[in-house]
Structure 1
Amino acid sequence: MLPKVPVLDSWISTGPVASFVSTILELGKARSSAYVCFANVHMVVEAQRDPEFRQLLREAAVVAPDGSPVAAAVQWLNPDTPPQPRVAGMDLLPALLEAAAESGQSVYFYGTTTEVLTAMVARARRELPTLRIAGVHSPPFRPLTPAEDAAEVAAINAADPDLLFVALGCPRQERWMAAHQGRVRACMLGVGQAFPVYAGLEPRLPLWARRLWLEWAYRLWLEPRRLWRRYLVTNTRFVYLLTRRAASHVAGRPVPRPAA
């Protein structure tokens, strides 16, 4: 399993991108009812604020450093750790689909809308004709009844995928995966916004802008009403917490580590 290091109150998995791909494929091959989270600033701050969500992250098999600030903070807060590349869900989704096609593993797409799922399947079948797509499903945008939930779990298990990609939005998708651990016989991955990007229905910011950590600003420009409060609060909170932690290091005060 990938080693983890603390970033504020969260444990983040570390290693090269290729190691994330191989580890997730192994979890899928084992049909381990495990889940994978992609931690951006919002998720790390949510874990710092909410003990229940912090425990949820702690129990994830893999917590990838999705956001550039999170990847950078891995080394800032753990100086003995080598520089950590960003492992974004938007990048790992196509990489995992390609690897699954090569290894014969099957995938299932769960979440978002029928339009997005249709476009995703069309692209996957065009670019990866050997990829085994076990199924797709767009659940309703409301809480499911126990009977509906049981039916969806039964349908997923009947399709028997190795990898189950989940796009319900953060933190809903992370809570869904944790609640279904032990019930869904697949490795679950909460990739959220990666679905419409892979489908070609939402453009990805150019690489140069991503390297400047501007992806949050681009998403804010796309959805200002929904995201302005999240970015104003969480980004400011993240910078404050990092600054406070760095000041503790400089002052030589012991810094509490999150429970393993």
Structure 2
Amino acid sequence: MKKFLLSININLGEYDSFLNRIVYNASENISSYVCVANVHMLVEAYNNQSFAEIVNNADLITPDGMPLTWGLKLVHGIRQERVAGMDLLPDLLSLASKHKLPVYFYGGTQAMLDQTEIYVSENYPDLQLAGMYSPPFRVLTSQEEHQVINSINGSGAKIVFVALGCPKQEKWMASMKGYINATMIGIGGALPVMIGMQKRAPEWMQRTSLEWLYRLSQEPKRLFKRYAVTNSMYLLLLAKELFSRKTLKSI
């Protein structure tokens, strides 16, 4: 089941149902991709129709940010628990280890991937690490794309964790659907947090939709403009949607 919120169709359900769906697609070699949606992604989709189509064509769209779960409650009256990338990543690694599903990491710097390899070997000793690749910070040539596809498919990967950041990772996954025989999931900033390169916000900040503020305090130069614009726009769009619905009910 899905519900439309401003620009994207968000999947609903219990947290475990998302995990089960991803694991099933991976075990069946279904070429698919998962968008872990937050305010940034929603606003990007609202401003760009082609990007909205990419997100809405995903096999799963999880409500990553607490502001999205609050939006679903305000607009649709639905209580939906958060399905965050920072929780999905370690849980999927545990399930991949349990079910013998090889995983591949695509994106991030080489230093991040080196640290990831050390982290997973220590924390998930039974995990089958199919491969890793840090792509150049430019558009890949057609030949390079084919090499990446062949490399991932040849590795036997069942799950591909994509750490390119929004909206680049969603565009890449959409372009690879039907070519890469695995389930792809955009994990964005979850990877550096998991491996200890960054810290996650305290639980009280996560529950009160202030995790963005904690991240901002860690990377103010990179994130200030994004949060100042996207958070403000999200609140404005949500207010307009609620006003419009209230007006329609009163007619």
TM-score, normalised to structure 1, is 0.93
Q: Which residue of 2 aligns with 1:84?
A: 80
How do 1:13-32 residues align onto structure 2 when only pairs under 5 Å count?
A: 13-32=11-30
What SS class does the counterpart of residue 36 from structure 2 fall into? Answer: strand
Q: Which residue of 2 aligns with 1:149?
A: 145
Question: Deviating runs (4+, > 4 A) in structure 1?
Answer: none
Q: Which residue of 1 aligns with 2:9?
A: 11
Q: Which residue of 1 aligns with 2:228?
A: 232
Alignment partners' CA distance in 2, 1:121 and 1:93: 14
Alignment partners' CA distance in 1, 2:194 and 2:214: 17
Equivalent in 192, 197, 203 of residue 201 of structure 1: 197
Q: Which residue of 1 aligns with 2:90?
A: 94
Structure 1 contact 111–168 (Cα < 8 Å) conserved? yes
Q: Which residue of 1 aligns with 2:132?
A: 136
Alignment partners' CA distance in 2, 1:203 and 1:224: 14
Alignment partners' CA distance in 1, 2:184 and 2:249: 39
CA RMSD of aligned residues (A): 1.3
| Matching residue's letter, 1:64 | T
Alignment partners' CA distance in 1, 2:25 and 2:160: 11
Equivalent in 191, 206, 221 of residue 187 of structure 2: 191
| Matching residue's letter, 2:38 | N
Q: Cα deviations across residues 130-165 of structure 1 (Å, max 9, x unaligned)?
A: 111111111111111111111111101100211000
Q: Which residue of 1 aligns with 2:173?
A: 177
Alignment partners' CA distance in 2, 1:192 and 1:207: 20
Equivalent in 44, 52, 65 of residue 63 of structure 2: 65
Structure 1 residue 253: Cα displacement = 5.3
* Percentage identity across paired residues of the two chains: 41
Alignment partners' CA distance in 1, 2:232 and 2:205: 20
What SS class does the counterpart of residue 252 from structure 1 fall into? Answer: helix
Structure 1 contact 107–132 (Cα < 8 Å) conserved? yes
Structure 1 residue 24: Cα displacement = 0.4
Structure 1 contact 12–74 (Cα < 8 Å) conserved? no
Structure 1 residue 114: Cα displacement = 1.6
Equivalent in 248, 251, 254 of residue 247 of structure 2: 251
Alignment partners' CA distance in 2, 1:134 and 1:221: 35
What SS class does the counterpart of residue 249 from structure 1 fall into? Answer: helix
Alignment partners' CA distance in 2, 1:227 and 1:253: 38
What SS class does the counterpart of residue 205 from structure 1 fall into? Answer: coil
What SS class does the counterpart of residue 38 from structure 1 fall into? Answer: strand
Q: Cα deviations across residues 167-205 of structure 1 (Å, max 9, x unaligned)?
A: 001100000000111111100000011111111111111
Q: Which residue of 2 aligns with 1:34?
A: 32
| Matching residue's letter, 1:22 | N
Please, which runs of 5 or more residues in structure 2 have no aligned partner?
Answer: none
| Matching residue's letter, 2:26 | G
Structure 1 residue 225: Cα displacement = 2.0
Please, which runs of 5 or more residues in structure 1 have no aligned partner?
Answer: 255-260
Alignment partners' CA distance in 2, 1:9 and 1:187: 24
Structure 1 residue 252: Cα displacement = 2.2
Q: Which residue of 2 aligns with 1:162?
A: 158
Structure 2 contact 201–215 (Cα < 8 Å) conserved? no
Q: Which residue of 1 aligns with 2:107?
A: 111
What SS class does the counterpart of residue 35 from structure 2 fall into? Answer: strand
Alignment partners' CA distance in 2, 1:72 and 1:181: 31
| Matching residue's letter, 1:112 | G
Structure 1 contact 5–14 (Cα < 8 Å) conserved? yes
Alignment partners' CA distance in 2, 1:130 and 1:219: 32
